[in-house]
Amino acid sequence: LKDLEVAELGDSDVHVKMLAAPINPADINMIQGTYAILSPLPAVGGNEGVGEVLEVGRRVAALKPGDWVIPAGTGLGTWRTQGVFPEETLLKVPRDIPVLCAATLSVNPCTAYRMLTDFETLAPGDSIIQNAANSGVGQAVIQIAKAFGIKTINVVRDRPDLPKLVERLMALGADHVITEEMLRKPEMKDMFKSIPKPRLALNCVGGKSTTEMLRHLQPKGTMVTYGGMAKQPVMVPVSAFIFRDVRLRGFWMTQWRKDHAQVDGAGAGRGPLFWESLAGMMDALCQLIRRGQLTAPACTEVPLQDYEAALEASMKPFTSSKQILLL
């Protein structure tokens, strides 16, 4: 933990007092050097969080002191008490949502929202299946799907406190919570008497888990991979391609932001397409939060001084609680 001077405020800069910032798997991967984006060193960790604007440069029009902001992209370095950032690296969020919801808004709920809307046209009554259902994204998928009227089949690893986890996910709106082992059992057929087979599978694990999920996907269904917790390749039986024509896709929120950030001729700022699609999504998510249909994931709040304990806890297996640094 280092004490640094706060940078001077430029005309287009914003001085932000950080309030809370989570520790996500991608943050750890960036520090390990295994992520697709690496910050130039020396760097501050953390890609997500919420802060309050203290002061703005004289050219800043969209933000004012007292506003809440979250990162517009990756690599901002949110694990700090204060920072000076260019205006275009920040997004304003409403102050009438809980601070932990705002702190965890820009990565997991956005990922969940995009995966539910961009790959298959799902209607109320349709179903989806996902593994790592107790992850931050998994919890957001359950709640957003519930709000859309979509049924969820949620796969988790067996663990000592399984009944407690099942209860928690059901309380969020999960329709079915099953273990990886149950996924392989013939009894799965009984489940599909009451709900349709899923048209969309969301994969954050890889390896065997993926192969098992694929077996239950509808013909021409889509499996979207957005993580690889098992560190094993995605294995697909040839028959799934030939006889059921399943589609395999990938999703990375950072890439989505890049694809939607059309830069104008001068190379400054982000184009209208980015703000429209991003603002629309943020608005939809904040509405769900206000209506109580989307809550922050299970969190453990940790003061910044105890960052070592928080990092250690976030890397333990079977974590069902996100570590949030309070700044």
Q: Which residues are catalytic?
A: 35
**What per-residue string of b and e applies to 112-141 under the rule 16 or more CB within 10 Å gives b?**
bbbbbeebbebeeebbbbbbbbbbbbbbbb
Number of helices and strands in the chain (H, E): 12, 15
Assess whether the previous peptide bond of 98 is cis (omega < 30° from 0): no
- Closest by CA to 234, choosing from 255, 207, 260, 254, is 207
Give the count of beta carbons closer than 10 Å to the beta carbon of residue 178. Answer: 19
Assess whether the previous peptide bond of 42 is cis (omega < 30° from 0): yes
- Give the tokens for residue 120: 């298959």
At a CB cut-off of 8 Å and minimum separation 6, what does 102 contact?
19, 20, 50, 68, 70, 93
Q: Give the span between the Cα atoms of 16 and 55, in whole angstroms.
A: 7
Q: Give the span between the Cα atoms of 72 and 122, in whole angstroms.
A: 28
Q: What is the CB-side half-sphere exposure of residue 325 using CA atoms within 13 A?
A: 30
Cα radius of gyration (the chain): 20
SS3 category, 272: helix
Q: Are 210 and 230 in contact (CB under 8 A)?
A: no
SS3 category, 79: coil
Q: Give the span between the Cα atoms of 84 and 59, in whole angstroms.
A: 14
